[in-house]
Homo-oligomer: A and B are copies of this chain.
Amino acid sequence: MKDLSVQNVSMVYELPRGGSVQALQDVSFDLEAGRLLTLLGPSGCGKTTLLNIIAGFLAPTGGAVTLGGDPITGPGQERGMVFQQGALFEWQNVAQNVAFGPRMNHRKKSETKDLVDGLLNTVGLTGFGDKAIYELSGGMQQRVALARCLANEPEVILMDEPLGALDALTREKMQGLILKLWKETGKTIILVTHSVEEALFLGDKLFVMAPRPGRIEQAYELPFAEVGLTSDPRKLKASAEFIDKREELLSMIWGMEEQIMGHEGGMS
């Protein structure tokens, strides 16, 4: 397993009508293999940009990212991405979606089939292989996306607001699944979320990011993910420790928001 290292990464978007946006400024961190990092922050603080750089879709304007010492220059199978929604191939059925990676890599059909069956089982979709994507609910689709990503055995899984579109209850189930996968496979996971609770609950490590310029404002090491699977998640979320942490984060972010969004007109 490889460690991820982000060194002085900056990203400046030039705007079409002139001017530029500093989406990320001098972001540095190291993430050891097997950690679950959650990224939390207001809109526009560069979460997606950072994920895209790590995924290799964007090259930073400054700095570098390495995985196990090798610089990242483009997309690669060792870094899988799970998008918020809409990234499944709706012209393929569930099994074909999951088998996409192995197929692109010309893996044996029989081998792939077993792999797919195993993954569908893992994400609780046994028997759904021949369903069409559009026949699934949002939560089920997210599970397919996760399975598809896992099929290539990536070292790092990047998730950009994967649960944003789900309702509260499905979301809670998916959180459980992510924790379980993380525990069982030991993969490195970076997960972007807008939900403070989710960031706390899932994150083994948490960065609160701030915008203008996009940066890591605060980093936390968190205990909840470790115990999230074994103890009752709802009890955990109702624990005093959890709630304290949450309030701390909320206050901080609320302050950040005020400062940023103040110009939009306060709500007295």
Contacts and interface: CB of A to CB of B under 8 A. Distances in A.
A190 B23 CA distance: 40
Interface string A187-226: 0000000111000000000000000000000000000000
Interface of A is mostly: helix
A140 B173 CA distance: 31
Interface residues of A, number: 42
A43 interface: yes
Interface string A26-46: 000000000000000011000
A203 to B, nearest CB: 15
Point out which of A127, A167, A173, A194 has the most chain B C-beta atoms below 10 A from its C-beta.
Answer: A167
A169 B42 contact: yes
A250 interface: yes
A266 interface: yes
Contacts of A168: 194-196, 253
A124 B251 contact: no
A238 B234 contact: no
B247 A167 contact: no
A140 to B, nearest CB: 6
A117 interface: no
Given A140-B264, A243-B243, 6 more contacts: A124-B265, A139-B264, A168-B253, A234-B251, A238-B244, A238-B247
The 3 residue pairs across chains A and B that have the minimum distance between CB atoms: A124-B267, A167-B194, A124-B265
